[in-house]
Amino acid sequence: MTSMNGAALPGAWPERIRALGRGELAPVSPRAAATVLLLRDDAAGGGGPTVHMLRRRASMAFAGGAYAYPGGGVDPRDERPVGWAGPSLEVWAATLGVPPRQAQAVVCAAVRETFEESGVLLAGPDGGTVVADTTGADWESDRAALVTHDLAFADFLARRALVLRSDLLAPWARWITPEFEERRYDTWFFLAVLPDGQRPRDVCGEADRTVWLRPADALSGYDRGELTMLPPTVATLRALLPYGTATAALAAAPGRDLTPVLARAAVAETGEIVLSWPGHEEFTVVVPAESETEAKTEAKTEAKTEAETEAETEAEAGPDAEAGPDRGPGPGDEDAR
């Protein structure tokens, strides 16, 4: 993983971009994912909303050390019927631009992943309430079972007689991982205000730090090269700057452009690679041809780290562990967070 002005750029990218340009690389189909910018107003007052962020462990195979939001890939079981409150699936389908079943899966993934990675649950006994405390041992047991895929989200809600509060989510953006990436996600970013009585917990095994940051402070750290973030994270933070409260940000969500942002890569005759994200010129990167050798070396190091991480995970899980989908983001995964 390299970093340019705080932007995380996997070292394998240059070589894969060239292979894609030569027709030697078939793009992987992106997996649907969701991530949530959990907001609360600055306790000091007058500072605008703050965002709950996670720093991915440096050992993670993808985006290690990058700051992101709770989130991840859709579980196929997220399409199962659940207690539902808020806009209908037809409304969500029209908003997200996907069929109703996929719209439900994306929304369920957003709520489920937020609970799995922060302990915050956007659900309640009915359409007008939200659970106030999820810190007990029984809640933690269910959260852990969701993480290991021993418990489906639909069964979790049904057993506790809860309905998913889809009205507490506001669609904010949509990014798709570049075609040359090995792990690709079609990720919807949502806003949500922290429910009264709930507090995020540092429960995400993929993170080594959790923090509440004002968007301006997070972006200042990124601009100084002190905080590593991927383009979707930076862009969604910048979009929050005009709003003085978390409620104001959510109110501005309807009508936002959810056209997917997909990176473009071009190889010049000189051998330079120009990587850009349409509509987000600040992320344009020019990779000199002479840096390719260095990039290949770094890519090999990343591949070794990924293999070691997966081996450690398998050893910890044991031979009888159920194989679950790769964790997303988001934030975290590259374009999932």
75 and 230 in contact (C-beta within 8 Å)? no
pLDDT of residue 84: 97
Model confidence over 107-141: pLDDT tens digits?
Answer: 999 999 999 999 999 999 999 999 998 988 999 99
Between CA 110 and CA 34 the distance in angstroms is: 5
CA distances from 13 to 161, 285, 296, 297 (A): 46, 12, 9, 12
Phi-psi label, residue 147: left if phi above 0, alpha if psi -120 to 50, beta otherwise: alpha
pLDDT of residue 44: 67
Between CA 308 and CA 303 the distance in angstroms is: 9
Between CA 2 and CA 10 the distance in angstroms is: 6
pLDDT of residue 300: 53
DSSP strand pairing (264-267 vs 273-276): antiparallel
pLDDT of residue 57: 59
Assign 201 a pLDDT band (cuts: 50, 70, 90): confident
Cα three-residue angle 98-99-105, rounded to 5 degrees:
85
Model confidence over 160-173: pLDDT tens digits?
Answer: 999 999 999 999 99
Assign 106 a pLDDT band (cuts: 50, 70, 90): very high
Predicted TM-score (pTM) of this structure: 0.83
pLDDT of residue 62: 55
| CA pseudo-torsion sign 142, 146, 151, 154 | positive
Lowest-pLDDT choice from 77-91, 101-115, 201-215, 218-232: 201-215
pLDDT of residue 207: 64
CB-based burial, 226-250: b 16+ in 10 Å, e otherwise: ebbbbbbbbbbbbbbeebeebeebb
CB-based burial, 290-312: b 16+ in 10 Å, e otherwise: ebeeebeebbeebeebbeebeee
- Of 208 and 106, the structure prediction assigns the larger pLDDT to 106
Residue 146 has phi, psi (to 5 degrees) of -65, -40
Whole-number CA gyration radius for the chain: 20
Query: What's the mean pLDDT in 282-290?
Result: 84
